[in-house]
A and B are shown apart, each in its own frame.
Chain A
Amino acid sequence: MNDRTGLTLSGVTVRLGDGDTMVTALDEVDLTVAPGELVAVVGPSGAGKSTLLAVSGALTVPDQGTATVDGHDLAGMTVRQRAAYRRDHIGFVFQSGNLIPALTALEQLRLVAELSPHRAGGRNPAELLADVGMTHRAGRRPHQLSGGERQRVGIARALMGRPKLLLVDEPTAALDRARSHEVVQLLARETKEAGVATVMVTHDHDVLEHCDRVTEMIDGRLSAG
């Protein structure tokens, strides 16, 4: 595996809070995800899964260790550079989609292009929406979509900027079994097609069959699941 690509976490430690209330959210975590690979992170609540996403997604800087995406050390960036890096190279899929209420499905994707000052290199919103099977709902706003449809739009939105890394936070939390399988299958397919390194945090053991690798996080430590 070429270590200039995908996600590499090595020796990442994150402590939250201070003094008596300080907890070690991540404890010397090592994780490598190659392009085109879908890795699931499972574990109980409070185990540090969200912090893992935050560090990988340049939202939190680790206290120790390094986090690199596509060979770029995230810790060495300013707040502004990290925001730009997220925008240009990292895709997020949030719980229940977390779409913008005022925008239609198609506009959710167009917004990604709007956020970028140099609007080249992104994917075509209409084509991408067709890719996730949402063309017939392109003009609907989030409150007019079902949970599964929202997640499809959320996945498409995350892929708009051709990210190197896709971070997925509990995508099936609000979905029934059948929809959960559909959404994770879609994630697995897009991971392969787009050649993106994908980390999915989940509680849902049903959907792990679609993942290339499963790791388990307990008390801030990561182990092969």
Chain B
Amino acid sequence: MFLALRELRFARWRFTLMGSVVALIAVLVVLLSGLSSGLVNDGVSGLQRLPVTAFAFDDGTKLDAAFSRSVVDREQLDQWRRQPGVRDATLFGNLLVNARSSRDVPIDLAMFGVEPGSFLSPPVAEGAALGRPDGIVVSRTALDAGLRVGDTVVIDRIGARFTVIGATADQRTYGHVDVAYVPLAAWQRLHQGAGPGEALRGSASAEATAVAIQADGDLDLAAGDAAAGTTSFDRIEAYGASPGYTAETSTLQLIQAFLYAISALVVGAFFTVWTINRRAELAVLRAMGAARSYLLRDGLVQALVVLGASIGAGIVVGVGLGGLIRGSAVPFAIEAPAVLTAGVLLVVLGLAGAAVAIVRIAAVDPLTALGAQR
């Protein structure tokens, strides 16, 4: 520590320069992490909040179109209910619609058709629970968009009218669209495109998008699929069915992975040059009898101090900037675990990069301290 800290002070501009690069990378990583969390929330928070183990779609359904293409019926539901390990199962409908409120607010809604009273029925923080045939419960975020409990919502083209009877406590969105929970019977009419007064096709009243399955412990999805004639995905897999979700998250993950690699390389390159610069001094220290372990520890402490300070500063700035972004239309959410993980990862990878350079300290020959070869 004695030498490490004094060298930091002595070469403060060089360290500040390198530290600034790392700090900027940390800012970027925090912002991307916030954007990732925001996009995940926007894309699949509606699915995340459903107490579901897996979704069973119609047989042969491709994941990327599962929630828009699949149709299952009550027979498949009954098959699933009989599967061992299944605690409960219910029909789940999913339909994206354009709507307009009585205050003339245009709003897109992801209509989640659920049986009132089933395990999918959402808890409400405001208003009444799902139950009224034409009553919908909306995501908290729909209130931010201008909806109010008590408003009437008219679905475009179909003309169906619903009353907002309640709202959830948290954000529930799907594919960047606010979720509205609607009784399954009403959802089936919407799904068929039946307007007010129109008759429902015979089979439509037995249909939904998927069977939502709640399981205790072990659940054999393949066996259930075979029995019910379905293709099932667990809840996490099903996120991939949200429009654009996979592309968005994988793009951001790729950028973040590159930033981690760049950061480790920048730190490694800096400490390589720095260690080579110190060779003469290190030879003198070795000749004076400094233990290798002392010098290695000193070098690592130096790297840790620089990384800790610059990444810490970067995170503070990133979170600050994030606060500004959050007020805008950009989906953004600072989540402490994600930010801390990113910070720790940056420190660990930076330290690994520095260590590759710092181990060269051990190879410095004290003999080179003698003679005139400098």
B284 touches A115 (CB 8 A): no
Give the chain B neighbours of A95 by CB distance below 8 A: 371-372, 374
Mostly helix, strand, loop or mixed at chain B's interface?
helix
Give the chain B neighbours of A80 by CB distance below 8 A: 291
Tell yes or no: B3 within 8 A of A by CB.
yes
Smallest beta-carbon distance A108→chain B, Å: 10
A53 touches B9 (CB 8 A): no
A115 touches B369 (CB 8 A): no
Give the chain A neighbours of B374 by CB distance below 8 A: 95
Residue of A nearest to B284 (CB): A98
Segment of A99-107, A123-131, A186-194 in the binding face:
A99-107
Give the chain B neighbours of A84 by CB distance below 8 A: 289, 291
Tell yes or no: A41 within 8 A of B by CB.
no
Q: A101-B281, A141-B10 are in contact. Are A87 and B370 (CB under 8 A)?
A: no
Tell yes or no: B287 within 8 A of A by CB.
yes
Give the chain A neighbours of B11 by CB distance below 8 A: 102
Of A59, A86, A102, A170, which is in contact with the most chain B CB atoms at under 10 Å from its CB?
A102
A87 touches B288 (CB 8 A): yes
A100 touches B3 (CB 8 A): yes
A100 touches B284 (CB 8 A): yes
Smallest beta-carbon distance B120→chain A, Å: 66
Tell yes or no: A210 within 8 A of B by CB.
no
- A151-180 residues at the B interface, CB under 8 angstroms: 157, 169-170, 173
Give the chain A neighbours of B367 by CB distance below 8 A: 54, 59-60
Give the chain B neighbours of A101 by CB distance below 8 A: 10, 281
Residue of A nearest to B11 (CB): A102
Smallest beta-carbon distance B182→chain A, Å: 70
A98 touches B369 (CB 8 A): yes
Tell yes or no: B13 within 8 A of A by CB.
no
Smallest beta-carbon distance B306→chain A, Å: 15
A86 touches B372 (CB 8 A): no
Give the chain A neighbours of B285 by CB distance below 8 A: 100, 115
**Residue tally, chain B, CB below 8 Å to A:** 26
**Residue tally, chain A, CB below 8 Å to B:** 33
Give the chain A neighbours of B2 by CB distance below 8 A: 110-111, 114
Q: What is the bound-complex CA distance between A86 and B370, given in angstroms?
A: 14
Give the chain A neighbours of B82 by CB distance below 8 A: none
Q: A57-B287, A59-B287, A102-B10 are in contact. Are A114 and B370 (CB under 8 A)?
A: no
Q: What is the bound-complex CA distance between A59 and B2, given in angstroms?
A: 25
A102 touches B289 (CB 8 A): no
A115 touches B370 (CB 8 A): no
B7 touches A83 (CB 8 A): no
B284 touches A114 (CB 8 A): no
Residue of B nearest to A141 (CB): B10
Residue of B nearest to A98 (CB): B284
Give the chain A neighbours of B296 by CB distance below 8 A: none
Give the chain A neighbours of B281 by CB distance below 8 A: 98, 100-101
- Partner of B289 from the list A83, A98, A103, A173 (CB cut-off 8 Å) is A83
- Partner of B366 from the list A59, A100, A170 (CB cut-off 8 Å) is A59
- A11-66 residues at the B interface, CB under 8 angstroms: 50, 53-54, 57, 59-60
The contact sample of 23 A-B pairs, CB cut-off 8 A, is: A50-B370, A54-B367, A59-B287, A83-B286, A83-B289, A83-B292, A88-B289, A92-B288, A94-B369, A94-B370, A98-B284, A98-B369, A100-B3, A100-B285, A101-B10, A103-B3, A103-B10, A110-B2, A112-B288, A115-B290, A115-B291, A141-B10, A169-B371
With contacts A98-B284, A98-B369 known, what are 10 further pairs, Cβ within 8 A?
Answer: A54-B370, A59-B287, A86-B288, A86-B289, A87-B290, A92-B288, A92-B369, A94-B369, A95-B371, A169-B370
Binding site for B on A (CB under 8 A): 50, 53-54, 57, 59-60, 80, 83-88, 90, 92, 94-95, 98, 100-103, 107, 110-112, 114-115, 141, 157, 169-170, 173
Give 8 closest A-B pairs by Cβ, nearest first. Answer: A87-B289, A102-B10, A86-B289, A114-B2, A102-B7, A50-B371, A50-B370, A98-B284
